[in-house]
């Protein structure tokens, strides 16, 4: 028997009218751990241009229907891509 996970957003009890991703979304599109195991970029970028990093620390993103969606605001969502880009030879302006 296959266990069905809910596709309904989960209510965030800490904030009125705010929601977390559904159990289904979390089960399909996230992992409990990162599988980072080193990187190897044999031909790193050697140019002079930097990547402009623009970030926000807002927990909730207002949606078109007036509800608030929890962005997750997890460090790995920002730091892991930056780690790979840095390992590939890029520098940043934050």
pLDDT at 54: 79
On whether residue 3 sits in a domain, the answer given is no
On whether residue 5 sits in a domain, the answer given is no
pLDDT at 73: 64
Q: pTM for the whole thing?
A: 0.58
On whether residue 2 sits in a domain, the answer given is no
pLDDT at 43: 95
On whether residue 1 sits in a domain, the answer given is no
Pick out the chain residues at pLDDT < 50: none
Which tens digits make up the pLDDT trace of 8-27? 988 888 888 888 889 998 88
CA distance 7 to 29: 13
Query: Which residue segment(s) compose the domain that 16 sits in?
Result: 10-35+45-93
CA distance 60 to 40: 35
- Number of domains present in the structure of the chain: 1
On whether residue 31 sits in a domain, the answer given is yes
On whether residue 29 sits in a domain, the answer given is yes
């Amino acid at each position: 028997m296959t266990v069905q996970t809910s596709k309904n957003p989960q209510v965030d009890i800490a904030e009125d009218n705010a929601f977390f991703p559904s159990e289904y979304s979390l089960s399909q599109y996230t992992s409990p751990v990162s599988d980072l195991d080193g990187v190897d970029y044999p031909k790193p970028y050697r140019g002079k241009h930097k990547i402009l990093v623009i970030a926000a620390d807002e927990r909730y993103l207002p949606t078109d229907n007036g509800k608030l969606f929890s962005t997750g605001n997890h460090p790995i969502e920002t730091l892991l891509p930056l780690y790979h880009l840095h390992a590939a030879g890029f520098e940043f302006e934050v």
